[in-house]
Amino acid sequence: MDAGRGPVISRFGLASFLRRHASLVVIVLLWQCGSWAGLISERFLTSPMHIARTAWSLTRDGTLPVNLWVSLRRAAAGFVIACAVGIGLAIVAGLSRLGDDIVDAPMQIVRTLPALALVPLFILWFGIGETPKVLLVALGAAFPIYLNLHKGIRAIDPKLIEMAQTLRLSRLQMIRDLILPGALPDLLIGIRYAVGISWLMLVVAEQVNAESGIGHMMMDAEDFLRTDIIMVGLLVYGILGLVSDRIVRLVEASLLVWRPRSTLGTFL
């Protein structure tokens, strides 16, 4: 019986993949047909085939790979800083009432500030180099990590804490063996949100005094009315967001393999 399940699961996975992406394929086909029929102006919205040709041209001359590498480096650096700051502050605020009083109120205030309003201040503080761009990404991505991990720590069952105290675990052992593993699902949710926000903040950062990156490439294209290059940049941002989210979901599946999977999807 187990031998026959493999093909069934494989077919189900393929069918699920095709069903999930069918609407996207239909949209692209309608878009291309509208361009061919003259219903969609090339200046207003470049056709998918034209976008593909432009992406290939930018790849061949090195423009796209160079700018993509710069953007990836900025996003990765900002995300690492966000993880360090968000996790550190969440642990401080989640494990101590005094820490919560000190940390949470400033975090909630800064969280509500619009990113664009902080750009001039970051330029005054850090100049127009790489530092303000990386810090803008870190600033936006740190909050979902902090909020979700803080919630996960506070949601730990008090009976488990009492059991750990009965076993005379040290504070460090409680954090390492009980609190952090218990809050891991919430942390991973925060990381998924943070990855998406990293790309959103990168778009803002790279359109302000940038000399390289996908956002800079799009700003140059705007000056020359190159809608096709702008669409290539948007496509790259979208693919990066999708791929990074898939990676986080794979990590989540491997780390949380002990959790029972929901069967709701089989009924929908």
DSSP 111-139: HTS-HHHHHHHHHHHHTTSHHHHHHHHHH
- pLDDT at residue 112 greater than cutoff 50: yes
Fold of 54-267: MetI-like fold (1.10.3720)
Q: Return the pLDDT at 1.
A: 43
Give the 3-state secondary structure of residue 61.
coil
Q: Is the pTM of this model over 0.95?
A: no
| Residue carrying the six token digits 């991990």 | 149
CA atoms of 51 and 226, how far apart (whole Å):
11
pLDDT tens for each residue of 181-208: 888 889 999 999 999 899 888 888 887 7
CB 95 within 8 A of CB 184: no
CB 184 within 8 A of CB 256: yes
Domain segments of the chain: what residues?
Answer: 1-40, 54-267
